[in-house]
Amino acid sequence: MLSTASGRLLWREVTLFDGQQQLPEPMAVLVEQGRVAALWAEKDFDPVLAVGTEEAGRGGVMTPGLVDCHTHLVYAGDRAVEFEQRLQGVSYEQIARAGGGILSTVRATRAATEDELIAASLPRLDALLADGVTTVEIKSGYGLTLEDELKMLRVARRLGTLRPVRVVTTLLGAHALPPEYVGNSDGYIDLVCQQMIPAAAQQGLADAVDVFCEGIAFSPAQCERVFQAAIAHGLAIKAHAEQLSNLGGSALAARYGALSVDHIEYLDEAGVRAMAESGTAAVLLPGAFHVLRETQQPPIALLRQYGIPMALASDANPGTSPICLPTLMANLACTFFRLTPTEALAGMTAHAAYALGHKELGRIAVGAPADLCLWDVRHPAELAYAIQAGRLRQRVFAGVVTYVR
Ligand code: DI6
Ligand code: FE
């Protein structure tokens, strides 16, 4: 790690993407005590103000540290066999209904100790960090018992102490119906609402609660009960909704003030309108779209028309998005969904932070936490245009340079 006694670091002549847009001129950036202390256009740079600073970098593109606002990073095992089955024409839904899919990862995750889950998850986290992530959301959802869900959340929290990264955790107890509850899905929702949510809230293990609202998962009525329990325990709400069909889960989540609804390929205008009214973000997950070879496009034109913040995330998970390269998501979102590179970068910075309810993150502004990336590219758009690992020159977390290439 690189830091100075004064804690004052200076970057010169950077092309700056502030989380929403590229600034028109080369900039100088001063970081002090973990925060962005000053920003100047180079032509206005006053060396007197920068006395006692250490020059930490010159040139390159500076962006906010990337925010990966939707991951299932903690799990054991892998699903390479299912990948081959899907290539032979078996669908994700067929695999799930046959007891594979999420449930195969549940079996492996239940069998793993916390230390084993840490060991399995750290390389994935390191891959995200090496591609610029400074904040990552991590969901449970492969335990599906009280103890195993709490175990996953503890592992997620511990990951945040093992690496310089902000970890936001989400309880996704309502991810899939565990085998013990076949034929009694309402009984399982009782467990989520009456035991998992209260325990996760009391132990400070979850920041939010998520659901999978889908034919192969839980109904809108069941998700609504989960939302009510989350609110009763002071936890934020998110939803996997409208991924494979339109059940109206997004509008429901929005009515409960959800931070975000995620996937949303089948979202309709009524859902978009409900999101606009509640300020709910849209999280696009082009990795899952790619892996599942989906063709149904999320309603990007409507989201733009209603001014919905569009975030992008890796959805890193063993089934539908075994991908730990966040900048690839920018490329896929542009290629598949026709986002502009600027929208894609905002989607991985300011809008992703918004989707986590952390509006202070994902932007470069005076006073904001100094989570920054310096990239060896010529323009911000290049991060979306080219698919390439290893472009990160420096990663700054809370004002400390934690990675130097
Ligand atoms: N949607 C997803 O993309 C992940 N979960 C979900 O509800 C996939 C999880 C998996 O297949 O393991
Ligand atoms: Fe997901």
Check pocket membership of 212 for ligand 1, CB cut-off 6 A. yes
Q: What is the pLDDT of residues 224-245, one digit of tens each?
A: 999 999 999 999 999 999 999 9
Strand 35-41 to 236-241 pairing: unpaired
Q: What is the pLDDT of residues 143-158, one digit of tens each?
A: 999 999 999 999 999 9
Degrees, nearest 5: CA angle 203-209-212: 140
Distance in angstroms (rounded) separating the CA atoms of residues 394 and 405: 6
Most informative mutation of 320, 321, 323 for ligand 1 (most atoms within 8 A of CB): 320
Section 181-190 average pLDDT: 98
Neighbour tally for 380: CB within 10 Å:
23
Instruction: Please identify, by atom number, the ligand 1 atom nearest to the C-alpha of residue 142.
Output: 12
Check pocket membership of 102 for ligand 1, CB cut-off 6 A. yes
Section 247-252 average pLDDT: 98
Q: pLDDT-based confidence at 5, cuts 50/70/90?
A: very low
Cα 315 to averaged position of ligand 2 atoms, centre (Å): 5
- 223 within 8 A of 261, measured Cβ to Cβ: no
- 400 within 8 A of 37, measured Cβ to Cβ: no
- CA-nearest of 232, 226, 306, 228 to 240 is 226
E-assigned strand segments in 8-117? 8-16, 27-32, 35-41, 54-58, 61-64, 66-68
Neighbour tally for 316: CB within 10 Å:
29
> Is the pLDDT confidence value at 4 over 70?
no
Degrees, nearest 5: CA angle 287-60-331: 15
- Residue 270 neighbours by CB under 8 Å, 6+ apart: 248, 251
> Is the pLDDT confidence value at 97 over 90?
no
Q: What is the pLDDT of residues 18-65, one digit of tens each?
A: 999 999 999 999 999 999 999 999 999 988 878 889 899 999 999 999
Check pocket membership of 318 for ligand 1, CB cut-off 6 A. yes
Q: How far is CA 258 from CA 13, 189, 227, 228, in A?
A: 40, 19, 9, 11
Q: What is the pLDDT of residues 270-318, one digit of tens each?
A: 999 999 999 999 999 999 999 999 999 999 999 999 999 999 999 999 9
pTM of the model: 0.97
pLDDT of the residue at 6: 57
**Ligand lying nearest the CA atom of residue 75:** 1
pLDDT of the residue at 72: 98
Residue 166, both tokens: 């902000």
- 208 within 8 A of 184, measured Cβ to Cβ: no
pLDDT of the residue at 1: 46
Q: pLDDT-based confidence at 78, cuts 50/70/90?
A: very high
**Ligand lying nearest the CA atom of residue 289:** 1
Check pocket membership of 101 for ligand 1, CB cut-off 6 A. yes
Check pocket membership of 317 for ligand 1, CB cut-off 6 A. yes
Q: What is the dihedral of CA 150, 152, 154, 155, to 10 degrees?
A: 170
Distance in angstroms (rounded) separating the CA atoms of residues 235 and 253: 13
- 102 within 8 A of 319, measured Cβ to Cβ: yes
Q: Lowest-pLDDT range, 91-95, 129-133, 161-165?
A: 91-95
Check pocket membership of 139 for ligand 1, CB cut-off 6 A. no
- Residue 105 neighbours by CB under 8 Å, 6+ apart: 75, 76, 77, 79, 142, 317, 318, 319
Q: Whose CA is nearest to atom 11 of ligand 1?
A: 319
Cα 309 to averaged position of ligand 1 atoms, centre (Å): 22
Whole-number mean pLDDT of the chain? 96
Cα 115 to averaged position of ligand 1 atoms, centre (Å): 23
Q: Whose CA is nearest to atom 3 of ligand 1?
A: 320
Residue 38, both tokens: 């000053």
Helical ranges in 163-248 per DSSP H: 185-191, 197-202, 220-232
Cα 383 to averaged position of ligand 2 atoms, centre (Å): 23
Beta bridge partner(s), residue 196: none
Q: Report the half-sphere exposure of 363 (CA within 13 A, side-chain side).
A: 14
Instruction: Please identify, by atom number, the ligand 1 atom nearest to the C-alpha of residue 172.
Output: 7
Cα 352 to averaged position of ligand 2 atoms, centre (Å): 14
Instruction: Please identify, by atom number, the ligand 1 atom nearest to the C-alpha of residue 92.
Output: 11
Check pocket membership of 320 for ligand 1, CB cut-off 6 A. yes
pLDDT above 70 as % of the chain: 99
